Amino acid sequence: MHIHILGICGTFMAGVALLAREAGHTVTGSDANVYPPMSTQLEAQGITLMEGYKPEHLDPAPDMVVIGNVMSRGNPMVEHILEKGLPYTSGPEWLGKYILQDRWVLAVAGTHGKTTTSSMLAWILEYAGLTPGFLIGGIPQNFGLSARLGNTPFFVVEADEYDTAFFDKRSKFVHYHPRTLILNNLEFDHADIFPDLNAIKTQFHHLMRTVPGNGLIVANAEEQNIKEVIAMGCWTPVEYFGDEQASWQAGEINSKGSFDVLLDNQMQGKVEWTLSGRHNQLNALAAIAAARHAGVAVDVSLEALKEFRNVKRRMELRAEIKGIKVYDDFAHHPTAIDLTLKGLKKVMNKGRIIAVLEPRSNTMRMGVHKDLLADSLKTADEAYLLQPEDLSWDLKSSLNGADNIHVVSSVEDIVKQVKTFAKADDHVVIMSNGAFGGIHEKLIKSLDA
């Protein structure tokens, strides 16, 4: 079968493409922005990429067009598909129908931490010899790919609450029908498609309704919104992680990031790694609990996490130049920004934190969280924010007069100012859910000069 994918370089659709190719299909795809890391991993798998959305990309007509949720009516290819009556589906629907059917699906949902927790869980299952399939919205460094079919019933999927397609406004995750479900956290996000928090809670409850009675929900006990979703009706056993009343708890994190794991107040062992932050403790507890439901002993999970390598763009150390460390991080929501910086602060021995942020997500660009922005950066010693020309609100007005936060109009000016300010032992954390104008390479080159 020849499958053509629209929006193929998005993290999710790239994973769909890899799975389709591994399943033996001929795969091609179109996207407006073809850039690494997704483009390189797709081309390496023999997938043909086409720049732009031109109807001639569909000549000759493929057997199926898989349409990403970035596509909308009025797009030339979408209009061509509808006018010619070409067969089409969404990425989540194709995944659920052709890949996840008859699999033991372990889904990871939540506003934050989905990619990291999914990667931990997939690696634990891999370490235990279960060779799972997975589709993750990033590239786990233990695997080097964002998706694969696997050789056993187990399949780990990052369960995104974003809408499915222009013709299906349900959340992606309702197509997955998990047997094991992690509910990590829940906050208001995706303001471009959800009017309020209650609308997101409704979608999360739709997801819960698909988990069978002999399945398991692994839920964050520290998240009131998650508890409220469960209170809407639950037909599946729940194991909580997090606070002192939860079944799964984490001991105090030490200076290197390691911590004890407790189950029903009984010591299970220690997670020994270099990841930082309370949020990663919770991610690990969730992954350990979910893996246990799939038959992996806790001590095996602890051993696996010793060898866990975080996902690309999750506090990924890109370079250390003249004692200055430059990190790439995906944080773009105020909560994620805050947790990322606090986690780094806790494991630092010396030096300062320099935060560099691009307000790129749809929710951030709409100004929904602008009143939280200054507080989210308070752990940083100095912060630089890019003010895009087309941003509809003024960044400076949201900073409450903080004199250590600077609004800058271009990537080049940020690079100049950071280079002037940074010194040995400093940690520069670049945060964006996009390419950020190539700032990582530009800063590294400038510091090296």
CATH of the domain at 73: 3.40.50.720
Residue 145 token pair? 């790919």
430: CATH: 3.90.190.20
Q: Are residues 60 and 129 in the same domain?
A: no
User: Which residue did the predictor score with more confidence, 88 or 391?
Assistant: 88
Q: Are residues 298 and 250 in the same domain?
A: yes
Number of independent structural domains in the chain = 3
What are the C-alpha distances in Å from 69 to residues 15, 83, 95, 159, 317? Answer: 14, 19, 14, 15, 31
- Please indicate, yes or no, if residue 94 is contained in any of the structural domains: no
In the prediction, which pLDDT does 253 show?
67
Q: Are residues 241 and 356 in the same domain?
A: no
In the prediction, which pLDDT does 214 show?
96
Give residue-wise pLDDT tens across range 34-62.
Answer: 767 667 878 888 899 999 999 999 999 99
Mean pLDDT of the chain: 90
Q: Is the pLDDT confidence value at 346 over 80?
A: no
**Mean local confidence (pLDDT), 283-303:** 97
CA distance 330 to 188: 18
**Mean local confidence (pLDDT), 9-33:** 92
Q: Is the pLDDT confidence value at 65 over 90?
A: yes
- For residue 129, give its domain range: 100-306
- Please indicate, yes or no, if residue 301 is contained in any of the structural domains: yes
- Please indicate, yes or no, if residue 311 is contained in any of the structural domains: no
Is the pTM higher than 0.75? The answer reads: yes
**Mean local confidence (pLDDT), 126-137:** 95
